């Protein structure tokens, strides 16, 4: 059974810092991995999707990497801003037609 963990559980940084969020999964046979952002009381917003054959994806100040063999993904946020404050969730999918398995999330606070 796939299990996903995220470290740290919470993170507080001053504005402008670069930071890394970590996601680990136990079964390396994945189809893709998706990073989401969730603001309080809101749904999930997709940030980046990495296919199993890819090693990284970039969107603006965000960069996500994937190391399938070690069961890890990282989300790098450059030059953090107070508007980046949210919970960040990673989810892995075993195959098309299979559900997503989520980690518990990292709660990020960026202080002005």
Nearer to another protein, 54 or 74 (CB): 54
Residue 32 or residue 80: which is nearer to another protein going by CB? 32
Q: Which member of 21, 25, 32, 85 binds another protein (CB under 8 A)?
A: 32
Choose between 53 and 112: whose C-beta lies nearer to another protein.
53
What single string gives the DSSP state of each residue in the chain?
A: ---EEEE-SEEEEETT--EEEEEEES----SEEEEEEE-TT--EEEEEEEETT-SEEEETTEEEEEETTTTEEEEEE-S--GGG-EEEEEEEESSTTS-EEE---EEEEEE-
Binding test (CB under 8 A) with another protein, winner from 26, 58, 81, 99: 99
Binding site for another protein (CB under 8 A): 4, 31-32, 34, 36, 41-46, 49, 51-53, 89, 91, 96-105
């Amino acid at each position: 059974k796939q299990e996903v963990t995220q470290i740290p559980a919470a993170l507080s940084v001053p504005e402008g810092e670069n930071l890394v969020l970590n996601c680990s999964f136990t079964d390396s046979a994945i189809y893709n991995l998706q990073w989401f952002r969730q603001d309080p009381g809101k749904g999930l917003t997709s940030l980046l999707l990495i296919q199993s054959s890819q090693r990284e994806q970039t969107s603006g100040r965000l960069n996500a990497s994937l190391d399938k063999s070690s069961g890890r993904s990282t989300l790098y946020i450059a030059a953090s801003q107070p508007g980046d404050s949210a919970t960040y969730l990673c989810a892995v999918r075993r195959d098309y037609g299979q559900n997503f398995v989520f980690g518990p999330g990292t709660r990020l606070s960026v202080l002005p």
